[in-house]
Structure 1
Amino acid sequence: MVSKVKIYVSGRGQFAVQVAEALVEARHHVVGVASPRLRDGHSDESQAMSWDRLRAWAYPRNITWTDSSELRAHHIAADVDIILAAHSHAFIGRRTRARARVATIGYHPSLLPLHRGRDAIRWTIRDGDKVTGGTVYHLTEHTDGGPIAAQEHVLVPPGSTAQSLWREHLAPLGIRLLLRVVDDLAGGRRIEVPQDEELATWEPSMDSPPLFKPELIALPGSVSVDSSKWALHGQEGRDHSRPGSTA
């Protein structure tokens, strides 16, 4: 029998809301959320319609919300079992992750260790991949490099765009995989399959300065990169998946 667990969701947008609703429907307890204050392209915080969707979802349910840019360990209650990253670009550092009694997990829209990085889906389309998939993994200091908890592949339909591939295939897959892993953890089943670093690939964001992560640049077969030209655009423990620019 699967016991119900207390979950803190860090995410943004519609995907994070869909994950939160699926968790509640499965009778797990979402006890707090972190998200950006506002949706992309909005600036008026006085208008609730401008709020990030996860923030707006939490408000009428009296679920504690924190600005994801300010998320720290003290925002996570002592009885939280799982921290779950769903389309989260937030810094989830070591001390924050340690607040989860069971695990800190995230979803990435690729077959990790392939296509690590923030724009996994867009690179999948750009590279003409015929097969892709989704991965739920344990967050660590190694960006998108933590042990795998669940993974499934999908075929890329002809004519797919990054948006259609996310919306029609990878987002629904992510919800299903996250629920499966939460149920596994709630039932005392913890799966951690190390990623094969010899197979790992990583691509920079298409819309912002690349993330400087020396351990990724040094992957076998990588080209030499002048780190002085790289901007620090993120920190350890992030879930970099987002739709289009991916989820």
Structure 2
Amino acid sequence: MVFSNGERIYVSRQAEVCTMRIMFMSSRQLGETVLQRLVERGENVAGVASLVVAPGTTNRMKEAATRLGIPYVEAKNGRSPEFYEQYIKLKPDLNIMARFRTIVPESILNYPKLGTIGWHPSLLPKYAGADSLTWAIIFGETKTANTILWTDKGIDTGPILLQKEVEISPDDTSASLYHDKITPGAVETIVEAVDLIKNRTAPRIPQDLSRYSYYSFITEKDALINWVQPAKRIYDLIRGTNPYPGATTHFQDRPFKVLDSELHLGFEGSALDAVTVAAIKAGGVIDITSQGIKVVAPDGVILIKAVNADGSKITAAHFADQVGLKVGDRFGMH
């Protein structure tokens, strides 16, 4: 609405702000936290959607929606006709997707008048796809981002609405990066994006797709330690796959997963002298203490502090006792 007073013209804030019905599609703890924040802010959440969970698993999004009195829709996948039929009954003006791990068709992406925005934890256009934090750590990146994009039919290819960089520390694991840094920032970034849309100031910045990189879910094969690689590359693989799926190596053909570790470039302070260390092949054990197991790489040492050998986390020292490990033994497939 526009009001005139003599020569001055006033535009009411109510006219500038866009009112909208939000359809929130998500899962897991992040989705529950974002939903709670949207409701606390007084946003009009018209509906909540999540994927079917395994039998015996708590559906946190369904419980949260029920508790908050918001209509809930459960989907086998984003392309099912049943999901679409329930979705359109809610008549949303904006879709928000965060960890909604399914392909959503254009009939849903383009249904709301304001479109669809999605959250992705990477510095797009790099690391589109799945397990983006894991891959970023594995490749030694020092920063990632909470990114909000206008979702299109591609995989994380739409225009950027908002992007907030997040530092990756040298000792971050996938777990610490996600829980301690990404999740708190994700909630605030999504809320800020909603405000930009409501105020009609949300940008659409095209991605430079010449810099686009896509990665799929990490596999056990991807997480296999190759001890002839540089020590930092091995260390980054270990922390990037901690806690899942865990970096795998072998002792006497028995696989186990390396969880916690430290990187020591060079061989200063090793239990053995430099000549002896050089004679030990990559993957060789040079020291076993209460602190862990020291293993040789071409340019340094990995101190293994904790492992998963039989489905549970134990100290590396305990593992060494269990399997009779001794200095001079070697990890890996030979």
Q: List aligned pairs for 1:46-195, cutoff 5 A.
A: 50-71=57-78, 72-74=83-85, 75-77=87-89, 79-195=91-207
Whichever residue aligns with residue 61 of structure 1, its letter is L
Tell me the SS of whatever aligns to 1:63. coil
- Are the counterparts in 2 of residues 73 and 97 from structure 1 also a CA contact under 8 Å? no
- How many Å separate the matches in 1 of 2:50 and 2:219? 20
| 1:109 Cα offset (Å) | 0.3
Identity %: 25
Please tell me whether the aligned partners of residues 158 and 206 of structure 2 are also in contact (alpha carbons under 8 angstroms).
yes
Q: For 2:158, what is the secondary structure of its paired residue?
A: coil
Match of 2:30? 15
1:168 is displaced (CA, Å) by 1.1
Tell me the CA shift for residue 15 of structure 1.
0.4
**What is the alpha-carbon distance in structure 1 between the residues aligned to residue 146 and residue 211 of structure 2?**
16
Equivalences, count: 204
The counterpart of 1:27, out of the listed 32, 42, 49, is 42
Q: Tell me, yes or no, if the aligned pair for 1:10 and 1:90 is still in contact at 8 Å.
A: no
CA contact (8 A) 2:93 2:114 kept: yes
Q: Distance in 1 between matches of 2:90 and 2:202?
A: 21
Q: Deviations over 1:197-219 (max 9, x none)?
A: 111111121149xxxxxxxxxxx
Q: Which amino acid aligns with 1:51?
A: T
2:72 partner SS:
strand
Structure showing the higher strand proportion among its residues: 2
Cα separation, partners in 2 of 1:121 and 1:93, compared to 1, 3 Å: same
User: With structure 2 as the length reference, what TM-score do the two structures score?
Assistant: 0.57
Give structure 2 stretches of 5+ with no counterpart. 1-12, 221-242, 245-334
Distance, in Å, in 2 between the alignment partners of 1:101 and 1:118 is: 28
**Higher RCO (CA 8 Å, separation ≥ 6 residues):** 1
Could you tell me which runs of 5 or more consecutive residues in structure 1 were left unpaired when the two chains were aligned: 45-49, 209-243
| Greater Cα shift, 59-68 or 154-163 | 59-68
For 1:157, what is the secondary structure of its paired residue? Answer: coil
Larger radius of gyration: 2
1:75-99 Cα distance to aligned partner (Å, 9 max, x none) = 1346412100011113321111222
Counterpart CA distance in 2 for 1:60 and 1:154 is 33
Distance in structure 2 (CA, Å) of the matches to 1:67 and 1:28: 21
Q: Which moved more, 1:152-161 or 1:113-122?
A: 152-161
> Secondary structure in 1 aligned to 2:201?
coil
- CA contact 2:51–2:100 (8 Å) conserved in 1: no
Residue number in structure 2 paired with 1:222 = none
- Alpha-carbon shift at residue 7 of structure 1 (Å): 0.7
Q: What is the Cα deviation at residue 3 of structure 1? A: 4.7
- Whether the aligned pair in 1 keeps the contact of 2:24 and 2:49 (CA below 8 Å) is yes
> Residue 33 of structure 1 contacts residue 54 of structure 1 at CA under 8 Å; is this kept in 2?
yes
Provide the residue aligned with 1:235 in structure 2. none
In structure 2, the CA distance between the partners of 1:187 and 1:73, relative to structure 1 (3 Å rule), is farther
